[in-house]
Structure 1
Amino acid sequence: MQRKYRVLLALVALLALFGYRYWQSHAPKKATATATATTGKHAASDESVKRRHYGALTFNPCTLSSPMVREGVTAQCTTYEVLENRSKPDGRKIKLNIAWIPADEDAELQPDPVFFIAGGPGQSAVQSYPQLAASFKRILDKRDVILVDQRGTGDSNPLKCSSKDAEGDPADAVTPAAIEAATRECVAELSKIADLTQYDTTTAVADLDDVRKALGAEKINVMGVSYGTRVAQQYAMRYPQSTRTIVLDSVVPNSTILGNIWARNLEDALTRQFALCTRNEACVKAVGNPRESLDIVMATLRKGPVPVTYRDPTTGEFKSDTLKANEVANLVRMFAYMPAMAALIPHQLHEAAQGRYESLKAMSDMLTSGLEDQMMMGMQMSVICTEDGDNVVSDAADKNTVLGTSLTDAMSTMCKVWPKGKMPADFHNPLSTDVPALVLEGELDPVTPPKFGEETVKTLKNGRLFVLRGQGHNVIGVGCMPKLFAKFIETADAKQLDGKCLDNLSYTPPFTSYNGWTP
């Protein structure tokens, strides 16, 4: 990947919500065909026992695999063709990539499948699912799971920039002029294969309902993570009669403008996470005050990049490069998503504050490797610029935060030149519905904090919020949550769930050395 696009992708990482634990998986393999026939209660084709029908769609066996999951997920895969622009019946058509995980062979199959919606915006549901498959195990006792790569992601006409970079000083790559130039190049490239005004949430929701109808399902259960919760809310808003339940994991309220409050949300989360160290005498003795260390590191790097010689985390080879302030901001933000990774931050910041930057640089490289394949920048920009870009405003109060105003400034710059679609006038209205809803938040989530869940559930007549102690972003697989998830899908009644089992969740103590934490 060329430097200019590496910079844009780093900005995209800051803009992103993400949906599952991105850093656990680098460039998952695409769904691949398998010779293993599967059985179930959907009709088998006369042509081949390997081919199966679901409604009007014909599926073939495939395996969904990821480097971080030992065993692949047995599935059925197909594509479904839709109009790119629904107002142009003679216009370009695109194929949506779909995977179907059939219910267990002996299941008492229910007619309402569960649709999983990935985060980002820009992630693939098909590629993301293997990381979350264990959370759906009980769902498969009675229901099928359907994965649809949202248009512009995965294998659904992916909007991925690959233009070559021009030569130049790397320090110039983060200037507004350079960001705008790179964005224009990306627009020019992707416009050859897509109308970028047609890759927003509203159009994607219409695609989902087309898939529902093609499957012959009267109602569906919609489960979204992070940005996927925006999709789920919009689906329930536009197609309430087709929505049996919604599950919103790490919810983004409909009224939220992506970008405006990310800096403050991160600061609040870091305050809570760093308190796990400052309240522990042994931690303070070993690594000092993490906030003070972070401030020292950021102040140093904002004066200019520092040279670093470090060991490449993927090859083991020694490399020489520089570490920049935006890399540390990105690293701290992304590691804060997950308690096990956040536990590393205090020790790493302590090392860097002493002038030892090797570990931070290595972890930054590890974080961003594979980002180009994980996050479809074009789709993300089409969503954000259409739905949020015009309302993003830099707040001077954020200037001295970890993220500063670079996020909102870059977002505004990119959206000035990115083609925008249209959204309904009520798009940002709170979802007000009697559709049963299960809303989940992690107590320490740096991007969709508990207050987002509290705001969302106010207008959900049959909704209930669970805030998981000591947890970060994307919590559907934590503790007994998979059991509660399955029970909710079975009963469609969140208010009757017994969440006492979640009381067993605890906090992850911060590392005080490379060997781990102090008990």
Structure 2
Amino acid sequence: MSRNHLKLAGVLASVLCASCSAPPSAGDGDGTGRHYGQIEFKPCTLSGSVASANVEAQCGTLSVAENPAATDGRRIDLRIAWLPADNNATGLPDPVFFIAGGPGQAASEVALPVSTALRLVGKQRDIFLVDQRGTGGSNPLSCLGADGKELPMDEKAEPTEANVRAYAGRCAASLQGRAYPRFYTTSQAIDDLDAVRKALGAQQLNLVGGSYGTRVAQHYLARYPQHVRSVVIDGVVPNDLVVGGDFANTFEDAIILQSAQCIKDAACAKRFPVNTRTQLRTVMDALAAAPVTVDYRDPATAEARQDVLSPDSVIGLAFAFSYMPELSSLLPVVLDEAAHGRYAPLAALSRNASRAVDLQINRGMQWSVICSEDAPRFQPAAQSDRLLGPHVAGMFFAACQAWPHDKAPADSAVPLKSDASVLLLSGELDPVTPPRYAEQVLKGLPNGHHIVARGQGHGTLNAGCMPRVVAQYIETADAKAVDAGCLDALSHVPAFTSFNGWEP
């Protein structure tokens, strides 16, 4: 499989006094720092790997034990970014913790979309972005060579499970003296979050988690229910789901839904008489029979490149695009071009998609989580009729034979049951966490409420009026009372009928 599928198919602190509940200070007098509870923060600028703008924040760290059972052993610093409420005013005592996805995404690196989605919430509450251990500024599990630079994965090597395992082995070896991957799982992450909560002096939190972050939020709620006021989970991952094991089915469903939308649109149906799924299969079969060497311009550097396109190139692009309707609307025209022998757009977009994933996911941390929590529960199933074949999961878990990990506790896969108020959000066209996942989790949440955003993909916090809906919920902490009527204005994104856009 292509590198796209590998990434997509990507602790306990010292005990602090329970009475440390002081609000953030006005500053230290010299304008260089301020405290929130026990943590000192200093001004910082947060910039994401793919964001076009920066976010001004306050940044600090909290030292925690890498191994929860060896508090006198190696310690690591958790990076914490604080977005002060209402332009540096003192916020309400129950801050918001945003939990990023992946696994392997750093919360501080998605500060721009998070600050936009929670802009109304931030008028009254402080927002904290804690980089999960192994990501961002929290002792990242980065694969480094002897020269200290990133250990590259050979793009020209045959994409086999054996090559993935070999790379994982080299990566694990490079971590010696820096990190022990066994201690970078969800269980340690939720204890880290609670250590940060105690250090800040907050008695209760409002949790907002996206994608894999929804699993972290569920586990935190189960372990520390007394410290949770409200929970928003967007792109819901059930605790008992094997992450990566169901991609073939969820992607297939998303492509079928996208095809149906084109059929319903007169302009799209006329321009593309062959539906998207069928066209995708046609192009993949053609490349399987005869891979094509393509000359094109790298969309990031404008440099001339030459790559060999295979079926993995096509399916990797389709999978990446399916996350966002704005991108998947390009898929019909790109596939149509390829079906007519014009592969340059496909090659350029495929490279850009692969680069974007590379920049956002820490591969080592992802392996620590999925090899401990998901791989041991994976049961291969016959999926020969799917666009994504059974080998996808094999590649997704291939590193686990070489990556140091322990099997997660049995209760880590127990479905959440809680009387807490929880707002569950799903995108109608989500290719990895479809609405049925949220419905599954909702069964254990009598005070939960599920909203499906029409025409949306993976991640809905910034869709339409969703920021207002989320703010309303966090204000009241009553999920069942949320009025989501304004979301009725959401619609599907029309497919491009040419590279100039869609027809009016």
TM-score by length of 2: 0.92
The aligned residue for residue 46 of structure 2 is 64
The aligned residue for residue 9 of structure 2 is 15
The aligned residue for residue 437 of structure 2 is 452
User: CA 1:360–1:247 in structure 2 vs 1: closer, same or farther (change >3 Å)?
Assistant: same
CA distance in structure 2 between the aligned counterparts of 1:381 and 1:41, rounded to whole angstroms: 38
Task: Tell me, yes or no, if the aligned pair for 1:392 and 1:412 is still in contact at 8 Å.
Answer: no
The aligned residue for residue 25 of structure 2 is 43
The reply on whether 1:237 has 2:231 as its aligned counterpart is: no
User: CA 1:106–1:388 in structure 2 vs 1: closer, same or farther (change >3 Å)?
Assistant: closer
The reply on whether 1:328 has 2:314 as its aligned counterpart is: yes
1:106, distance to aligned residue in structure 2 (A) = 8.0
CA distance in structure 2 between the aligned counterparts of 1:269 and 1:54, rounded to whole angstroms: 44
Q: How does 1:79-228 map to 2 (within 5 A)?
A: 79-105=61-87, 109-163=91-145, 170=156, 172-228=157-213
Amino acid at match of 1:152: G
User: CA 1:156–1:215 in structure 2 vs 1: closer, same or farther (change >3 Å)?
Assistant: same
The reply on whether 1:425 has 2:425 as its aligned counterpart is: no
**What SS does the corresponding residue of 2:231 show, helix, strand or coil?**
strand
The reply on whether 1:391 has 2:385 as its aligned counterpart is: no
CA distance in structure 2 between the aligned counterparts of 1:219 and 1:131, rounded to whole angstroms: 24
Q: Percent identity?
A: 45
The aligned residue for residue 35 of structure 1 is none
- Which stretch of the first structure deviates more once superposed, 280-289 or 221-230? 280-289
Amino acid at match of 1:479: G
Task: Tell me, yes or no, if the aligned pair for 1:44 and 1:51 is still in contact at 8 Å.
Answer: no
Structure 2 unaligned spans of 5+? 11-21
User: CA 1:515–1:449 in structure 2 vs 1: closer, same or farther (change >3 Å)?
Assistant: same
1:422, distance to aligned residue in structure 2 (A) = 4.5
1:137, distance to aligned residue in structure 2 (A) = 0.8
CA distance in structure 2 between the aligned counterparts of 1:407 and 1:169, rounded to whole angstroms: 18
**What SS does the corresponding residue of 1:222 show, helix, strand or coil?**
strand
Amino acid at match of 1:120: G
The reply on whether 1:494 has 2:476 as its aligned counterpart is: no
User: CA 1:55–1:304 in structure 2 vs 1: closer, same or farther (change >3 Å)?
Assistant: farther
CA distance in structure 1 between the aligned counterparts of 2:374 and 2:133, rounded to whole angstroms: 19
CA distance in structure 2 between the aligned counterparts of 1:283 and 1:326, rounded to whole angstroms: 26
CA distance in structure 2 between the aligned counterparts of 1:177 and 1:251, rounded to whole angstroms: 32
1:251, distance to aligned residue in structure 2 (A) = 0.5
CA distance in structure 2 between the aligned counterparts of 1:271 and 1:186, rounded to whole angstroms: 38
Task: Tell me, yes or no, if the aligned pair for 1:197 and 1:422 is still in contact at 8 Å.
Answer: no
The aligned residue for residue 19 of structure 1 is none
Task: Tell me, yes or no, if the aligned pair for 1:338 and 1:471 is still in contact at 8 Å.
Answer: yes
User: CA 1:167–1:433 in structure 2 vs 1: closer, same or farther (change >3 Å)?
Assistant: closer
Q: 1:469 aligns with which of 428, 451, 454?
A: 454
Amino acid at match of 1:12: L
Task: Tell me, yes or no, if the aligned pair for 2:101 and 2:213 is still in contact at 8 Å.
Answer: yes
1:366, distance to aligned residue in structure 2 (A) = 0.9
1:107, distance to aligned residue in structure 2 (A) = 5.5
The aligned residue for residue 53 of structure 1 is 35
**What SS does the corresponding residue of 1:257 show, helix, strand or coil?**
coil
CA distance in structure 1 between the aligned counterparts of 2:90 and 2:36, rounded to whole angstroms: 16
**What SS does the corresponding residue of 1:127 show, helix, strand or coil?**
helix
The reply on whether 1:279 has 2:264 as its aligned counterpart is: yes
The reply on whether 1:440 has 2:425 as its aligned counterpart is: yes
Task: Tell me, yes or no, if the aligned pair for 1:288 and 1:350 is still in contact at 8 Å.
Answer: no
The reply on whether 1:256 has 2:241 as its aligned counterpart is: yes
The aligned residue for residue 505 of structure 1 is 490
CA distance in structure 2 between the aligned counterparts of 1:266 and 1:294, rounded to whole angstroms: 12
User: CA 1:166–1:173 in structure 2 vs 1: closer, same or farther (change >3 Å)?
Assistant: farther
1:90, distance to aligned residue in structure 2 (A) = 1.8
User: CA 1:167–1:15 in structure 2 vs 1: closer, same or farther (change >3 Å)?
Assistant: closer
CA distance in structure 1 between the aligned counterparts of 2:81 and 2:393, rounded to whole angstroms: 35
CA distance in structure 2 between the aligned counterparts of 1:272 and 1:239, rounded to whole angstroms: 38
The aligned residue for residue 19 of structure 2 is none
User: CA 1:105–1:385 in structure 2 vs 1: closer, same or farther (change >3 Å)?
Assistant: same
Q: Which deviations, in whole Å up to 9, do the C-alpha atoms of 1:287-312 show, x marking residues without a partner?
A: 33222211111112233532001111
**What SS does the corresponding residue of 2:158 show, helix, strand or coil?**
helix
Amino acid at match of 1:518: E
CA distance in structure 2 between the aligned counterparts of 1:70 and 1:152, rounded to whole angstroms: 25
CA distance in structure 1 between the aligned counterparts of 2:53 and 2:167, rounded to whole angstroms: 39
Amino acid at match of 1:376: N
Number of residue-to-residue matches in the alignment: 488
- Which stretch of the first structure deviates more once superposed, 68-77 or 360-369? 68-77
The aligned residue for residue 301 of structure 1 is 287
- Which stretch of the first structure deviates more once superposed, 494-503 or 174-183? 174-183
The aligned residue for residue 391 of structure 2 is 406
TM-score by length of 1: 0.90
User: CA 1:167–1:84 in structure 2 vs 1: closer, same or farther (change >3 Å)?
Assistant: closer
User: CA 1:238–1:369 in structure 2 vs 1: closer, same or farther (change >3 Å)?
Assistant: same
Q: Which deviations, in whole Å up to 9, do the C-alpha atoms of 1:367-415 show, x marking residues without a partner?
A: 122543321000000000000011223222x233222122211134221
Q: How does 1:332-347 map to 2 (within 5 A)?
A: 332-347=318-333
CA distance in structure 2 between the aligned counterparts of 1:131 and 1:167, rounded to whole angstroms: 29
Q: Which deviations, in whole Å up to 9, do the C-alpha atoms of 1:229-256 show, x marking residues without a partner?
A: 0100010011111111111001001111
The reply on whether 1:367 has 2:353 as its aligned counterpart is: yes
The aligned residue for residue 29 of structure 1 is none
Q: 1:378 aligns with which of 364, 374, 381?
A: 364
1:15, distance to aligned residue in structure 2 (A) = 2.2
CA distance in structure 2 between the aligned counterparts of 1:9 and 1:108, rounded to whole angstroms: 45
**What SS does the corresponding residue of 2:449 show, helix, strand or coil?**
strand
Task: Tell me, yes or no, if the aligned pair for 1:196 and 1:419 is still in contact at 8 Å.
Answer: yes
**What SS does the corresponding residue of 1:174 show, helix, strand or coil?**
coil
**What SS does the corresponding residue of 1:427 show, helix, strand or coil?**
helix
The aligned residue for residue 75 of structure 1 is 57
CA distance in structure 1 between the aligned counterparts of 2:436 and 2:448, rounded to whole angstroms: 15
1:499, distance to aligned residue in structure 2 (A) = 1.2
The aligned residue for residue 353 of structure 1 is 339
1:425, distance to aligned residue in structure 2 (A) = 2.3
The aligned residue for residue 23 of structure 1 is none
1:428, distance to aligned residue in structure 2 (A) = 0.9
User: CA 1:285–1:124 in structure 2 vs 1: closer, same or farther (change >3 Å)?
Assistant: same
Task: Tell me, yes or no, if the aligned pair for 1:343 and 1:508 is still in contact at 8 Å.
Answer: yes
Task: Tell me, yes or no, if the aligned pair for 2:98 and 2:127 is still in contact at 8 Å.
Answer: yes
- Which stretch of the first structure deviates more once superposed, 178-187 or 481-490? 178-187
The aligned residue for residue 25 of structure 1 is none
- Structure 1 vs Structure 2 CA RMSD: 2.1
